[in-house]
Amino acid sequence: MEEDVLSTVFGETGTAFNIWTSLEQQLLPITIENEGNLEKTDPSFRKWRIENAMVKGWLINSMDHSLVMNFIRYPTAKQVWDSAATTYFDGTDTSQVYELRRRVSQMKQVGGSIEKYYNNLQGLWPEIDFLRLNPMSCAIDIQNYHSLLQEERVYTFLDGLDDRLDHVRSDVLCLKPFPSIEQAYAHIRREDLRKSVMVSGAKAVASGVVTAIKGVKSGHSQTLLKSGSSSRSKGHSDGNKCTQTCFKLHGYPDWWHELQARKK
């Protein structure tokens, strides 16, 4: 019953559900156990009052905002809890299990980070485990069931990865012994990080080569420009000298003498 109330009143996010699962198992029984049984003069009363206020505060602060006013006036955490249980318990948890498994099956990386994709899955799986406990009683059977569950989750995790990670996915499937979901994630993340570093390094080298080539071309062009300017200047100077020499050999035209007279 408690798990139905948790997901209905406190939302379906993995973080909220896991917090309240832990709270329900550890702190809530403390406040319930002593409620109404302690006198104010009892040495334990002060401790209980602090714990009650803390648990009630956590419950209220974690509720959907539209529901807070329905529960905030109750003086104890137990009354808040009992009221929520009475109001929202539907008598079954199969719909929650179905919804959680549906969300897991539809979850994909879709271009996001591997970390976010993995963490999203890890937020849902503990909820399913809480609602569907290991049915085995023998220690060996419990371990075998857990191993099969881990293997199934590795397949689910790998299936939701982007296609660019196909080669790493194949590597994980070939690992011996078959990895746990934590080991599979660590392998995928490590290989993806290594590939990213290599690609970044290759891009940096390529960029450096392009810059160097541009620098060489620029320097070569400047050399050609200087060489061309020098040649033109030299050609112009030599051209004047050649003109005078040719006139001496073949005779000066009439306008040449007039030009020289004007210069004087």
Domain boundaries, the chain: 2-88
What pLDDT sits at residue 220? 57
Residue 15 pLDDT level (bands cut at 50, 70, 90): very low
pLDDT at 4 over 60: no
- In angstroms, the CA 80 to CA 251 distance is 124
Residue 160 has pLDDT above 60, yes or no: yes
| Residue 196's pLDDT band (cuts 50, 70, 90) | confident
pTM: 0.52
- Write down the pLDDT at residue 117: 96
Structure-token pair, residue 110: 């879709």
The dihedrals phi and psi of 239, each to the nearest 5 degrees, come to: -65, -40
Which SS3 state, helix, strand or coil, does residue 158 take? Answer: helix
pLDDT top residue among 30 and 37: 37
For the chain, the 3-state helix, strand and coil shares in percent, each to the nearest 5, are 80, 0, 20
Q: List pLDDT tens digits, range 209-258.
A: 556 566 656 665 566 555 555 554 444 445 455 555 566 666 677 676 77
In this predicted model, which residue has the larger pLDDT, 36 or 17?
36
DSSP assignment, residue 175? -
The span from the CA of 91 to the CA of 5, in Å, is 10
In this prediction, residue 151 has a pLDDT band, given cuts at 50, 70 and 90, of very high
